[in-house]
Structure 1
């Protein structure tokens, strides 16, 4: 049982780290221009030699970007909260009870990440200026999609997990 518990904790922490990196790292959208110039754009900044706020991020047309920012932050916070709730329930629950509250929080985190990545996929052109539309998805975008099934599976593991001896 100790090995299963260690695996679940490691799996949860890996998902949380992926969420942190995908939310903070500046590589949701990558535009390779002629020469060595590469422009990285994420939820917060666009960077080539210098970084500046994402253009049009304050307009109504780019309200999608604000929803994505909020959903990724909420997903990351919920993932961390579910880990702390799991640790608390690990010592407080009686034997044989399930970690349902932890699972619900983790599944909500998974839902937030899915919503954010889906909206980014569908609406990326609405908040990128015309010069940045000819790019490709970056590593942070891919990490966000990888963290979605990890948090989802982690949530289901908590639903199935019972506290045993």
Structure 2
């Protein structure tokens, strides 16, 4: 039981870290090694200063929806972890982690919706940026999609997990 508890806890922390990176890092759309776009900024690498110059993205309704859903996903996954810790120490023997699982599944659904919106509407989101045909989805976009099944599966595991002594 202890090894399962450690595995579930580490899995949750890894998912939360990856989800946070996917939300905050600057590589949702990449044109080349010197220009990228994320949910918050459009960035270019400046060779003179050897640093990134970032300007705020033009906010469309689709971009705002993706931003809100990704932030909600991180928040619900964080709440899920805190609820898990609370239930772990206060729940009676034999109790199920329903609330933790429901919060985690809800985080997964938010992440799924945000990733799907970005997939279907990236042309509208990046409309004022460079030519889209020369770019591709970045690793943060991939991380967001990787988190979807991980969040949903861990939520289901939490729902079936029973506290034992």
The answer to whether TM tops 0.5 is yes
Where 1:162 maps in the other structure, the secondary structure is coil
Alignment match, 1:115: 113
Equivalences for residues 2-151 of structure 1 within 5 A: 2-32=2-32, 38-49=34-45, 50-54=53-57, 56-57=58-59, 62-128=60-126, 129=128, 131-134=130-133, 135-151=135-151
- Which of structure 1's runs of 4+ aligned residues deviate more than 3 A? none
| Shift, 1:127, TM fit | 1.8
Where 2:121 maps in the other structure, the secondary structure is helix
How many residue pairs match? The answer is: 156
- With structure 2 as the length reference, what TM-score do the two structures score? 0.91
Deviates more, 1:127-136 or 1:152-161: 127-136
| Shift, 1:38, TM fit | 2.3
Q: Aligned equivalents of 1:51 and 1:140: distance in 2?
A: 17
Q: Aligned equivalents of 2:136 and 2:35: distance in 1?
A: 11
Q: Aligned equivalents of 2:84 and 2:125: distance in 1?
A: 38
Q: Aligned equivalents of 1:66 and 1:30: distance in 2?
A: 20
Where 2:30 maps in the other structure, the secondary structure is strand
| Shift, 1:92, TM fit | 1.0
Q: CA RMSD in A?
A: 1.0
Alignment match, 2:50: none
Deviates more, 1:41-50 or 1:116-125: 41-50
Q: Aligned equivalents of 1:130 and 1:140: distance in 2?
A: 18
Cα separation, partners in 2 of 1:130 and 1:65, compared to 1, 3 Å: same
- Structure 2: segments with no counterpart, 5+ residues: 46-52
Where 2:35 maps in the other structure, the secondary structure is strand
